[in-house]
Structure 1
Amino acid sequence: MLARDFIEDSLYNPNYGYFATKVEIFDPDGKARDVELQAAERAEGFEFGSYRNTAQFEDEVARRYMVFEGRGSGHPGEGEGAAVMGQGVGRQVWHTPTELFKPWYGRALARYLCASYKLNLFPYNDLIIYEIGAGNGTLMGDVLDYLAAHEPDVYARTKYRIIEISERLQGMQRGRANGGAGELGKEKARRRGHEDKVEIIGQSIFDFDRVVHEPCFFLAMEVLDNFPHDVVRYTTDTHEPMQCVVSIDASGDYSELYEPVHDPLIARYLSLRSKLPSSRSRGSPSPVIHPLLAQSTLLRSIYSTIPFAPNLTAPEFVPTRQLELLEILRDKFPNHRVLMSDFDTLPEAIEGVNAPVVQTRYAGEQTVPCTTYLVQPGFFDIFFPTDFETMRELYSLVMAQASSAGGASPDAPLASPTSPSSAGTPRLSGRTLQVHAHGSFLETWGETDMTRTRDGSNPMVESYANAKFVCN
């Protein structure tokens, strides 16, 4: 199978995939329980002003992390020897900025969405939000809570739709929409429900089978990093691209085989990337190929005569699933605006350009990194950095192509944003992406006084320095 299919199977197979069988999202307010019960009994995040500094806040996060995993109260000497995962690999706990900084992280996104909606779509269109990778439903709840409390006119016109394939997470999200979790403050009062605002669509975004003609916002927080990638290497003499196929032998060992590119998705990605301004300025078809070698057949022939010189370049991990998502946005959501966030760099990645980090947690405590993605399916997280500058250029190119599913041509006339005729018309000014540093975006849209510790540091703004936002 192709490398992306191997990675997809490792992460998403419903019977043994990493996300289907191992992962839970860290909720700092309590140990995970069953779906709607869990959502209904949670408190509401951290009181940042009660901590001396970021270090004390991080200590409290670590303590609650231990409690969530079932290792006692998190205080020294308690919970020692508790069987969290038994011996070996078991439950894997993730933490996300949406959960760590709730409700303020979600409120920052709500403030951005509301401002963009008022500027571009109000009063002729409803505020329609689609989210993929919604997890526990925390972001959905925090966004709707903010709009209900501070923007009632906008809230009255809001529809929030989650695209989710996991039945377990659908249950969590329904519990959150029905009023689960506590109000701001210390008491666990139930907040108002948003069930009349929320629709949960039980399918993968890659199987989405309708065309949404209404203007909408498309959210994907910490989703791109777990999109499967393909592996491509180039011959050193002709620079012909070769696609990777993963094979398994009789003893169960995995290995890579390379063949000329014939997969349509890989070919499409490489063709589109060659047209990007960054590719033209680089002077080579790939970051793994030096421009001098790309431009000189003489240098390539000399290089190929060097003893023991490899006949293939280093591997490049190409985001083919990301391209599929952009094409779905173009074809199925022709009037979309995006808001996404993810990592742009990752430490301890395996060898290769745009290579992933491959790791698992052993016995509940020790993180075990790997040097290859060819690991036992279902036991390891495989996550990639996102090259947001390339994604920005690719997005513009993909959106400029005519849609095969009813999207408007990029040359279609643009109605005035203040006229009723603008409803349902693609806003071509939104066909480019803006890339923002994670902290810069949150400083602009966040209520930063609420996430500041006593020494003036701000964990929400200062954390995740290796992440970025993209929006339009």
Structure 2
Amino acid sequence: MMKKLLVASGRNHSSPSLPVATSSALLLPTAIIQPNTRIRKFHSSQAVSYGYQFKERTELVREFIHDSLYNPEYGYFNKKDHELIITHPLLRDEKLTNTASIENDQFENDLINNNLSFDEQMILPFHELQDQLDYLENLSELYQRGPQSWGTPIEIFQPYYGIAIAEYMLRTTYGEGKNENLDKPLKIYEMGGGMGTCARNVLDYLEKEYPEVYKRTEYNIIEISSQLHEQQKIRCARHVRNGKLKLFHASFMDWANIEQDECFVIAMEVLDNCAHDKVSIDGQGNVLECHVFEDSITNYYGEVFLPCQDELIIRYLYLSGIIEESTPNSSNTAISSQYFYKSIEDLRGGKIKKAIRSFFSKSVGGMRSLLMSSIGGDHVMFIPTVQLQIIEKLQQNFPKHRLICADFDYLGTDEPGESNRPLVQKKFKFMKASNLLRKVREHGTIFLKKEDVTSEENFSVESHAFRSYLVPKGECDIFFATDFATMQQVYGKVCKDGNGALRGSKVVKSSQFMNQYAQKGKFDTKSGYNPLLRDYSNFSFFLS
């Protein structure tokens, strides 16, 4: 199963000022490290005395991961030297980074101008494939086009994946028969629109099949990546010209406008790249927050656990039910309008009892972690604090929203005593020695022509996973599974409808969603295997 991939190991070669990973972590007593040593804001720095003979900068884990992924200068999603996505095989590889070449290509022009049928836009001839193995082999050929290319369901199953999302929005807005409230406008916001494929597929479908709805549609993409923002301008140019699509180069968290109308908010594979925090809870219920420091002497990253002070971490721990008050019936359990618990001081004093709930029991790995922590030792977990910020942003700026969110629900990264670890990967390009030896024998000399050595057939692309997220910044795709059951709990406590009542939500597997809304027959292979329904089995939709 394939997902966007990337990372590097060892010393930092791209930026001497950025240290690299170390597996060590410091768990220092409160008497040595005072609680006020934390850093709150991204990119800020502060000298911290560890009680030893060195001083370093520290940042929360979410700050470290966010900076690694989204820094405007060196962040992974803003890098200019890699292919961004698996796209249609008729598009040349260099087009992913050389936008000037796109203008003169007839196929690309037809794609942009909506002159192709939906079937002609499919990236694989699914009906011609024999079975699952044939599908995986063909997908692998696309996947190996570049050492840093990556693919997502919205791309692999285009345009019908996006059309399924359009069908869901149409039926939700205009009824199952799509014949109710026909004068109602369709407002859509997409958080992190990738290459613009989802937006283009949705708008193409509305324009061709529901032109009256298309006229009343307003689609907005809020994209933090400068590279992807530029690609969206090209791939969705016609809908931009038609006034149906607006592109914003900004962080969703910095979005200032308040949408008072009913709207859909789409987030396709956004949560997995949301930065997480790392915390440790001991047997007495004391909570420690993890900070990353860089050692200027060794040029390595390390971890240090400090008494929990960060209000976002505390807020998430309460809302998710991971911790609870020692006196749950007291007046201290009230939540303010900013979702702060008045009992934060109890937590800072180390008086909160631990309440490890379903967060740890979603998988065999989670049960193993719970067992390990119960027989001695702290339990360490990565928690989606930025996910909480997004949920709060939805409530604040999109009070009448309907959320359509799709992401990985399982990655198999849990280890004993540690939950929800990220998957950190990179694809490497290797030379096939056997191919070169064959050419040496064929030519009878070791002095080969340049094209004989650099030919793509001499290389293979393989992925490698790393055990730590402490890798050189900007060199990796760090992503997490989403615990959708816990997300439902947090979402229900934060988001209210127009009457102040709790907003409902449901979670369905990707196959269930596609069974109901997709033209699934388009993906049947000769053997009956249907990758739209059977691949990405660890993928779920969150719908509100």
Shorter-normalised TM range? 0.7 to 0.9
Aligned mate of 1:241, from 287, 294, 314: 287
1:246-274 Cα distance to aligned partner (Å, 9 max, x none) = 11112111111111111111111112223
Work out which of the residue numbers 186, 193, 208 in structure 2 matches 1:149.
208
CA pair 178-286 structure 1, distance change in 2 beyond 3 A: same
Kindly state the Cα deviation for residue 348 of structure 1 after the two structures are TM-superposed. Answer: 4.4
Is 1:110 paired with 2:187? no
The two structures have a TM-score, normalised by structure 2, of: 0.67
Aligned 1:176-195 pairs, distance under 5 A: 176-179=235-238, 195=242
Counterparts of 1:329 and 1:113 in 2: how far apart (Å)? 18
Q: 2: CA distance between counterparts of 1:204 and 1:378?
A: 17
Aligned to 1:345: 410
- In structure 2, the residue matched to 1:27 is 87
Q: In the alignment, which of 140, 151, 156 is matched to residue 62 of structure 1?
A: 140
**CA displacement, residues 331-356 of structure 1 (integer Å, 9 cap, x when unaligned):** 00001001110001003456621111
Instruction: Return the offset for 1:24.
Output: 0.9
Larger Rg: 2
Instruction: Give the direction of change, closer, same or farther, for the CA distance of 1:98–1:323 in structure 2 (3 Å limit).
Output: same
Cα deviations by residue, 1:258-299 (Å, 9 ceiling, x for unpaired): 11111111111112223899xx9xx952359999xxxxxxxx
Task: Tell me, yes or no, if the aligned pair for 1:350 and 1:356 is still in contact at 8 Å.
Answer: no
Say whether 1:384 aligns with 2:430: no
Q: TM-score, normalised by structure 1?
A: 0.77
* Distance change >3 Å, CA 206–CA 362, structure 1 → 2: same
Deviation, 1:469, is 0.6
Does the C-alpha gap of structure 1 residues 106 and 289 become closer, same or farther in structure 2, counting only changes over 3 Å? closer
Deviations 1:183-216 (A, max 9, x none): xxxxxxxxx8764200011210011111111110
SS in 1 for 2:419: coil
> 2: distance between equivalents of 1:36 and 1:439?
38
Give a deviation string over 1:419-440, Cα, whole Å, max 9, x none: xxxxxxxxx7xx1111001111
Structure 1 contact 36–175 (Cα < 8 Å) conserved? no
1:329 aligned to which of 391, 394, 397: 394
Q: How does 1:65-144 map to 2 (within 5 A)?
A: 65-66=143-144, 68-69=145-146, 92-119=148-175, 122-123=181-182, 125-144=184-203
Check if 1:320 corresponds to 2:404.
Answer: no
Point out 4+ residue stretches in structure 1 off by more than 6 angstroms: 288-291
In structure 2, the partner of 1:443 is 515
Change (3 A) 1:232 1:23: farther
Alignment of 1:455 with 2:527, yes or no, is yes
Counterpart Cα distance in 2 of 1:409 and 1:275: 28
Cα distance in structure 2, aligned partners of 1:335 and 1:253:
46
Q: How far off is 1:112 after superposition?
A: 0.8
- Structure-1 separation of matches of 2:414 and 2:428: 19
Q: How many corresponding residue pairs? A: 393
Aligned residue for 2:128? 50
Name the aligned partner's letter for residue 72 of structure 2. Answer: P
Query: Residues 170-190 of structure 1: CA distance to partner in whole angstroms, max 9, x if unpaired?
Result: 2211222224xxxxxxxxxxx
Q: Which amino acid aligns with 1:151?
A: Y
Note the 1:148-297 alignment, pairs <5 A. Answer: 148-179=207-238, 195-236=242-283, 238-249=284-295, 250-274=297-321, 284-286=354-356
> SS where residue 404 of structure 2 aligns?
strand
Q: Tell me the residue number matched to 1:414.
A: none
Deviation at 1:408, TM superposition (A): 4.6
- Whether the 8 Å CA contact 1:125–1:215 is kept in 2: the answer is no
Paired residue type of 1:358? V
Displacement, 1:47?
Answer: 2.5
**Paired residue type of 1:272:** L
Listed one character per residue, the Cα deviations across residues 355-403 of structure 1 (whole Å, up to 9, x for unaligned) are 1111111226221211111122122221100000110111111014xxx
SS in structure 1 of the partner of residue 243 of structure 2: coil
> 2:358 & 2:514 partners in 1: Cα distance?
34
Of 11, 16, 22, the residue aligned with 2:74 is 16
Q: Which letter does structure 1 place at the counterpart of 2:534?
A: E
Find the counterpart in structure 2 of residue 182 from structure 1. Answer: none
Q: Deviations over 1:113-168 (max 9, x none)?
A: 11111139834531001001211111111111111111122112111100012232
- Match status 1:371 vs 2:371: no
Deviation for aligned residue 1:233? 0.3
Whether the 8 Å CA contact 2:507–2:542 is kept in 1: the answer is yes
**What are the residue-to-residue correspondences of 1:357-436 with 2, within 5 Å?**
357-363=423-429, 365-400=461-496, 408=498, 410=500, 431-436=503-508
Q: Partners in 2 of 1:235 and 1:23 — Cα distance?
A: 43
Displacement, 1:409? 5.3
RMSD, aligned α-carbons? 2.8
Q: Residues 75-126 of structure 1: CA distance to partner in whole angstroms, max 9, x if unpaired?
A: xxxxxxxxxxxxxxxx521101111111111111111111111139834531
Structure 1 stretches of 5 or more lacking a match? 70-90, 180-191, 292-302, 401-406, 412-427
Counterpart of 2:402 in structure 1: which amino acid?
R
| Aligned residues of 1:11 and 1:381 also touching (Cα < 8 A) | yes
Equivalent position SS for 2:410: coil
- Does the residue aligned with 1:470 lie in a helix, a strand or coil? strand
User: In the aligned structure 2, how far is the partner of 1:113 from the partner of 1:153?
Assistant: 15
Whichever residue aligns with residue 174 of structure 2, its letter is: K
Bigger Cα displacement from structure 2, 238-247 vs 44-53: 44-53
User: SS state of the match for residue 162, structure 1?
Assistant: strand
Quick one: distance in 2 between partners of 1:23 and 1:318?
30
